[in-house]
Chain A
Amino acid sequence: MKHLSDQELMRIVQAGDYSPASEIYDRYSGRIYNFAFRFLKNAEAAEDAAQEVFVKMLKYANQFHGDAKLSTWLFSITANWCRDYLRKSDNKAKEAEDVLVALPAPSEYSPDRTLEQRENEQLVRRALMGLTPEQREAILLSRYQGLSYAEIAQIAGCSEGAVKTRVFRAMETLKKTLAGHAGRGDRCLNAVQ
């Protein structure tokens, strides 16, 4: 299975054979789980999200078109799940409680990580949760998943211009928190062409 492309694996699934499921899971579970975890800041919900995404991938395999990237499709399902999760009132409260139940992954407690890195990690997590869900989604997909604005627009169901605005606003907010840079109030007037 490992030598097959995503599209080839999905064609097998679409034909009713689920044998590529574990291979697809192995390829994408890390990215999906990390995206959901960073989006929701809740490891349990991220697990539920990841499971649901891969189950839906099989269930609705026929809705996947071979000309699209599988990663974009999977992130669409994940982002939808996360948005629904946050829409539920009790989960909003949970988000505000700064819940982080899951055990820190070994990489997080690795002795190689300096104190500064660990402090920064907490700072980044908090700063990300300070963004609107739309901004957080855009910056996570752009910064940590390397998706293009066009792909993010497809996932978020908005225009590319809207994604750019979200990324810009997210970066402005993050800059104030993470670099302690709110600007001096005066800005360069050299306008964007």
Chain B
Amino acid sequence: MTERMPFLLTESLDAARREETHQHIETCTLCSEEWSAYQETWRVMDDLPVVEVPPALRERFLAAAGLEGGRPVRPENNVVPFHRRPAFKWVAQAAAVVVLAGSGYFFGRETAPTFRSEPVSVERAGLIKPLSIAETRVVDANAISPEIEGRPNITNVSFIDGDASDNQIRVAFDITSRWTVTGNPRDKSMVRLLSYMLESEAGIAPRSNALDVVRRTYSDPANADPEIAHALAKVLRNDEHEGVRIRAVETLTTLPANVALPTRDALIEALKNDPNPAVRLKAVQALANMAQSGATLDAEAVNTLRLKAAQDDENLYVRVKAAEALSKIKH
């Protein structure tokens, strides 16, 4: 009878079986206990609330579908008008690949003596095979130029877990073909590539994954890099997704103080202007951490904290944290 109980809950038993099961439960102590537990489980599951869809998602979808502001676009000949990349963008992407490769001469070739590009099977690289890509090009970060030009459309980003002890970052992505770049966190090319990914317009998840990697890697003082801090500050200022902005502040907080300190302006801006209270809360906590670590906050930072602590219409938690931060500032 126990097997029927979930189906009793989902009302998927026919009338006869339902009746039979209920009658049995009434007369059987074991099943009665079991049924109560099922009902309790069902009730507790009700406490999982319905979450609201982020309002920006609607706009994102309409833009992705080529329906700006919901204005219908009628495709010709019933052809779906998905973003067909203009030729110049392909050229730009190809140019970016060339730059990434460090030499336009080798673009399109499978091997290149100085480029150290080794075509390997996707399976060998441990990656899920992208639909249109036959092979992955593996390259060391120090073999590519740190200058990323042409705003290449980097997609399908994944960070590959390798040997944790080798202090290497492995990042795979698609441009015009699949690439895996491996490099030391201190390598400028790797720093620039990660910074670029943090700001990329690809999905939220890749940006979030990049933030995870940055937090894990650059919180180590040995890897500290001001460009990473700068990129995080840009994410905090510009990213439209509040979850990403929150994570950017959290990541900034983990960076060594000497690297994170120059980003305090971004934190102050976020505290002043970010529309989301959770982002403001994270920003004020980050400023408090800086103050606690002995960093000197300038007059504007202190004034902003004072303003926030006293601002009636500010979120209560933000006000409390601002007051706490002020108490930690050494006078």
Contacts and interface: CB of A to CB of B under 8 A. Distances in A.
Interface of A: 15-19, 21-22, 25-26, 29-30, 33-34, 37-38, 42-45, 47-48, 50-51, 54-55, 58-59, 61, 84-85, 87-91, 93-94, 101-108, 113, 116-118, 120-121, 123-125, 128, 142-144, 148-149, 164, 167-168, 171, 174-175, 178-179, 181, 183-184, 186-188, 190-193
Given A17-B74, A43-B243, A55-B64, A33 B41 contact: no
B1 A105 contact: no
A104 B281 CA distance: 14
Contacts, number: 212
Contacts of A105: 49-52
B70 A22 contact: yes
A74 to B, nearest CB: 13
Nearest to A16: B78
Nearest to B158: A90
Contacts of B276: 103
Contacts of B161: 89-90, 93
B133 interface: no
Contacts of A188: 1-2, 24, 28, 30-31, 34
B151 interface: no
5 contacts: A18-B66, A21-B65, A25-B62, A113-B49, A168-B3
B106 interface: no
Interface in B235-252: 241-244, 246-247
Nearest to A117: B47
Given A94-B212, A168-B3, A187-B30, A181 B45 contact: no
B41 A178 contact: yes
